[in-house]
Amino acid sequence: MSEPVCIQLPPAKSEAIRALSFDFLDANTAGETALSHKLQLHWPEDMLVMHQALQGLLQGQSILHLKEAGTPARIILALASAFARNTTTLTAADSLERRPFAELIQVLRQWGANISLSASSTGWPMTIQPAELTLTPVTMSMGRSSQFASALALLAFGLQQPLDLQWHDEPVSLSYLALTLSMIQERGLEVNLRPNQLTVQPSRSNPIHSTSVWSSDWSSAAFFAVARMWLPKEQDLLLEGLTLESQHPDRKILDWLADFGLQASQEPDGLRLSRREAALVPPSSYDLKNCPDLVPAFAVFLAVTARQPILLSGVGHLAHKESNRLVAIHQNLQLIGGKLIPEGEDAWLHPCTGPLPSTLHILTAHDHRILMAFAPLSLLGIILQPDDMSCVRKSFPFFHREWAKLCPQWQATPSE
């Protein structure tokens, strides 16, 4: 058996962003002005934004710039509403300003938060005055983002107040809320998640604070899992820092690609990916409601591999990501003969017809996951020309270096 190509992945930012939140709450309770985790320049941009904003809250900074960081922005908005030490203004990039926040703001105001929106069409910048919050039972929509509930649960942990949150619509990305709740449970709080209700009860003693060890990022691993399907059969990959026991929602990519022949085995340093002949006829539909970050990579794979249209269910909320990802995927698939046609909260993936082009100009919409989703096409002999190579910094700043291990002609950004 030949040696696998070893791939270094960034830290799992979904875990790290939540861990930094607990770090902030610990420091705030102790009256400190610095997080225990030291900022690392190689982190994904969302982690850098989160660290800098939390540090800014501890130090009483008047302006916090959240750039394009969706999850950090929602958590920071909630935490600042209760723990800001003086008047604090939140600013954002245009793409973040267009993303949903109204439901979260409404709940925070109901609890007593003093949040002022600007006169712009998006309400940004937002200004927060220090306030005392009382967490009364509330009902909110969960149809556009589970991050609202994650932010509120973290706030309940920090305030040591009970949370009673209900919803009447179909929640999306519930597995990411489950990740937040599991980290809260580890710290001693009682959590109860029902089909339409979440309750969090404060601990009877001091919360249990633990130091988080961040695993490698499953969302980033998905692009290399797809790549393994198009590499020579004898060329395995080793994705460093991943385990088969992981509860991360994006681990699901292994199950889906197993339908097409992917095999994953545990090794001491990570997961080894190999390929065998597919034994089963792949399904005609996949439920992606709880794994939105996998949609771009899996859709591109299906567009090239599938032989019939595939129904991707629960993907409607991708219209509210860093870009309208449904539109961005469709625009690029059209260039290679495929389609992604929305139908309510679902979408039909129509596989490519005809030969693949020799060159593809990727319209990234400045979205990191769009660029990385189409990168595996470079392994099929297509010369890729992305219109923005730097967008990967948001989640995988050294992606180009790692991708060049598989595709030597891949052009890295000047910073690398």
pTM summary value: 0.87
Split at pLDDT 50, 70, 90, the class of 204 is: low
Q: Is pLDDT at 32 greater than 50 in this prediction?
A: yes
Q: Is pLDDT at 413 greater than 90 in this prediction?
A: no
Task: Please report the DSSP string for 142-192 in residue order.
Answer: -SS-SHHHHHHHHHHHHHT--EEEE--S--SSHHHHHHHHHHHHHTT-EEE
Cβ-in-10-Å burial (0-12, 13-18, 19+) of 62 comes to exposed
Q: Is pLDDT at 128 greater than 70 in this prediction?
A: yes
List, for residues 322-343, the tens digit of each pLDDT value: 889 999 999 999 999 999 999 9
Cβ-in-10-Å burial (0-12, 13-18, 19+) of 98 comes to middle
List, for residues 64-102, the tens digit of each pLDDT value: 999 999 999 999 999 999 999 999 999 999 989 988 899
At 175 the pLDDT is 87
| Mean pLDDT of the region 381-407 | 95
At 412 the pLDDT is 45
Q: Using only C-alpha atoms, what is the Rg of the chain?
A: 22
At 214 the pLDDT is 81
At 328 the pLDDT is 96
Residue type (1 letter), 5: V
Helix (H, G, I), strand (E, B) or coil at 304: helix
At 148 the pLDDT is 94
Half-sphere exposure at residue 148, Cβ-oriented, CA atoms within 13 angstroms: 24
Split at pLDDT 50, 70, 90, the class of 138 is: very high
Q: Is pLDDT at 212 greater than 60 in this prediction?
A: no
List, for residues 142-193, the tens digit of each pLDDT value: 888 889 999 999 999 999 999 999 998 888 888 889 999 999 998 889 999 9
DSSP structural state of residue 127:
E
At 342 the pLDDT is 95
Taken in order of first residue, the domains within the chain and their CATH numbers are: 5-201 (3.65.10.10), 218-403 (3.65.10.10)
Q: Share the mean pLDDT of the chain.
A: 92
**What distance in Å separates the CA atoms of residue 179 and residue 150, rounded to the nearest whole number?**
9
| Mean pLDDT of the region 387-392 | 94
